[in-house]
């Protein structure tokens, strides 16, 4: 059973229990887990939440006197406020504990971070006093010192790993290399981060990657390359972003951070480009050994070479595209050219994730890196759009101009 790290506790639920009869701690804990099971669906099942470390150990203190029992229940939580409130409310549905009738009343749900905030404010005052005593500091320096103190205390922990305050609640997560990276991203408003803190990928990170849309954001050096390779082999990575060559994430400016994240590529595409790069280097070495005089084609010729299509294919794609003009729709076909479905372009990526063996996609839009990435993952053979970006891909990418 996962243990909730003290630094990740956001709220503490406190409740009072009264029973007509003598009960003991195991009776109360059994009632809490047993009688709340299934009330809020599988996502808020107490046993599952405790196993994943999002609900901590349930503490119970019970006293018996004169054949009556009373006590208190304490439940720590790293869930968000709404989910914690739901968990607290389920406690009041419990009517029996062991053989006795009982009532549970929720007294409070305390925000533990308020204490941290008080500490940060007091610490900031100390820092400010020290700066003032040492001279007349720059106002920007004071502000940055206080902000840095706040950011540092915002960092939480998941199974011993440092993470941003929104890492567990967000549907998307960014994996970085170390704590300093998290602090720098927090500085610029990015709060859904977690660090691997080492060369090997922790099981907790691998597990989170299977539950959330995951971006690996690594340093632009050899160490970052090796860490990224380990992540791609052991975790379920959706996108890859890297710092500029020779730079680390912890030292990037706001502009550099957001530029790197905007230019992230699907993991499948990154793997393909990496493998193509190795193949190209190997082929280049072979040509050099053979001292061939054959001229090399330019990079652009390799990247944007027009796809070869049969005449009947061109006519078919041209006809489908003409019918789709202005519709913002996409048609998905299987290997036998049977229509699997027609969906809005805005829903194309999510639809592809649920369809088996799509072969050809024709749509009213531009073939870009994102569409190409999911197409590579799903084994699509041909992408046909009104326009296309210059993409090096195993998928046959066709634009309207290619059909003229």
CB 15 within 8 A of CB 106: yes
What total number of domains does the chain contain?
4
277-295 pLDDT tens trace: 554 455 455 454 444 334 3
Beta bridge partners of 64: 69
Mean pLDDT of the chain: 83
Residue 297 has pLDDT above 90, yes or no: no
Is residue 137 located within the same domain as residue 189? no
Alpha carbons 352 and 393: distance in angstroms, whole number = 18
What is the span of the domain harbouring residue 368?
307-403
Q: What is the mean pLDDT of residues 192-213?
A: 90
Positive or negative: CA dihedral 318, 323, 329, 331: negative
Find out whether 202 and 159 touch, Cβ atoms under 8 Å. yes
In a domain, 237, yes or no: yes
Q: Residue 359: its pLDDT value, please?
A: 92
pLDDT band at 138 (very low <50, low <70, confident <90, very high): low
Give rounded-to-5 percent helix, strand, coil for the chain. Answer: 45, 25, 30
At residue 292, the pLDDT reads 39
Residue 322 sits in a domain whose CATH number is 3.40.140.20
Is the domain of 107 the same as that of 117? no
As beta bridge partners, residue 110 has 12
Does the global pTM surpass 0.75?
A: no
Domain assignment present for residue 297? The answer is: no
The answer on 263 and 163 residing in a single domain is yes
Q: pLDDT above 70 covers what percent of the chain?
A: 84
With respect to residue 300, please indicate whether it lies within any of the assigned structural domains.
no
pLDDT in tens, 161-197: 999 988 888 889 999 999 899 999 988 889 899 999 8
Residue 19 has pLDDT above 90, yes or no: yes
Instruction: Among 102-106, 155-159, 206-210, 384-388, name the one with the lowest average pLDDT.
Output: 155-159
Give which of 385, 382, 378 is closest to 400, Cα–Cα: 385
Which pLDDT does position 247 carry in this prediction?
92
Mean pLDDT to the nearest integer, 202-211: 92
Pair type for strands 213-218 and 193-195: unpaired
Residues 398 and 314 reside in one and the same domain: yes
CATH code: domain of residue 234: 3.40.1360.10
DSSP per-residue letters across 153-167: HH-EEETTEEE-TTT
Q: Is there a domain that residue 280 lies in?
A: no
Site of tokens 């439940």: 75
pLDDT at 119 over 70: yes
278 in a structural domain: no
39 and 61 assigned to the same domain: yes
- Model pLDDT, residue 174: 95
- Span 305-315, average pLDDT: 72
Q: Are residues 89 and 118 in the same domain?
A: no
Mean pLDDT of all residues in 105-119: 84
pLDDT of residue 136: 54
Lowest mean pLDDT among 139-153, 158-172, 225-239: 139-153
Q: pLDDT tens, 21-33?
A: 999 999 999 999 8
Q: What is the pLDDT of residue 61?
A: 93
Residue 279, in any domain of the structure: no
User: Do residue 264 and residue 165 come from a single domain?
Assistant: yes
| Six-digit token string for 153 | 């205390």
Overall average pLDDT of the 143-172 stretch: 79
Say whether both 120 and 214 belong to one domain.
no
Contact (Cβ atoms closer than 8 angstroms) between residue 340 and residue 352: no
pLDDT on residue 298: 35
Q: What is the pLDDT of residues 248-263, one digit of tens each?
A: 999 999 999 999 999 8
Q: Is residue 247 part of a domain?
A: yes
102 and 174 fall within a common domain: no
Same-domain check for residues 70 and 31: yes
- Give the residue, 256 or 351, on which the prediction is more confident: 256
Do both 104 and 12 map to the same domain?
yes
What's the confidence (pLDDT) of residue 377?
86
Q: 302 in a domain, yes or no?
A: no
* Residue closest to 115 by CA, chosen among 14, 5, 6: 6
Could you tell me the two tokens for 301?
A: 């010729």
Clarify whether residues 264 and 169 are in a common domain.
Answer: yes
pLDDT of residue 75: 93
Average pLDDT over residues 48-69: 88
Count other Cβ atoms within 10 Å, centred on residue 46: 20
- Say which residue, 215 or 138, is predicted with more confidence: 215
pLDDT at 310: 82
């Amino acid at each position: 059973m996962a243990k909730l790290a003290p630094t990740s506790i956001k709220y503490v639920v406190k409740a009072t229990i009264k029973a007509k009869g003598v009960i003991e701690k195991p009776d109360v804990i059994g009632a809490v887990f047993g009688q709340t099971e299934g009330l809020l669906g599988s996502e808020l099942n107490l046993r599952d939440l405790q196993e994943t470390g999002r609900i901590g150990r349930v503490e119970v203190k019970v006293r018996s006197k004169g054949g009556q029992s009373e006590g208190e229940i304490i439940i720590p939580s790293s869930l968000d406020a709404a989910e914690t409130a739901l968990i607290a409310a389920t406690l009041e549905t419990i009517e029996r504990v062991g053989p006795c009738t009982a009532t549970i009343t929720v007294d409070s749900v305390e925000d533990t971070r308020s204490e941290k905030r008080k500490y940060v404010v007091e610490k900031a005052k100390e820092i400010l006093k020290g700066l003032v005593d040492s001279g007349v500091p720059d106002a920007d320096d004071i502000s940055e010192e206080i902000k840095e103190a706040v950011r540092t205390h915002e960092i939480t922990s998941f199974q011993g790993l440092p993470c941003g305050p929104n890492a567990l609640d967000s549907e998307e997560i960014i994996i970085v290399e170390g704590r300093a990276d998290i602090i720098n991203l927090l500085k610029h408003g990015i709060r859904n981060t977690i660090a691997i803190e080492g060369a090997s990928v922790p099981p907790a990170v691998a597990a989170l990657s299977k539950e959330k849309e995951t971006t690996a954001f690594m340093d632009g050096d050899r160490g970052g390359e090796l860490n990224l390779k380990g992540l791609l082999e052991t975790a379920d990575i959706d996108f890859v972003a890297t710092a500029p060559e020779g730079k680390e994430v912890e030292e990037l400016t706001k502009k550099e951070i957001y530029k790197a994240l905007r230019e992230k590529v699907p993991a499948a595409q990154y793997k393909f480009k990496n493998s193509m790069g190795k193949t190209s280097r190997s082929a280049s070495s072979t040509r050099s050994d053979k001292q061939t005089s054959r001229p090399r084609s330019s990079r652009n010729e390799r990247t944007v070479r027009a796809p070869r299509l049969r005449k009947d294919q061109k006519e078919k794609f041209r006809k489908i595209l003409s019918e789709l003009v202005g519709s913002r729709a996409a048609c998905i076909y299987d290997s036998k050219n049977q229509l699997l479905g027609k969906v809005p372009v805005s829903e194309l990526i999510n639809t592809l994730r649920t369809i088996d063996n799509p072969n050809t996609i024709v749509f009213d839009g531009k073939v870009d890196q994102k569409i190409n990435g999911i197409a590579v993952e799903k084994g699509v053979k041909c992408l046909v759009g009104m326009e296309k970006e210059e993409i090096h891909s195993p998928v046959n990418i066709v634009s309207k101009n290619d059909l003229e």
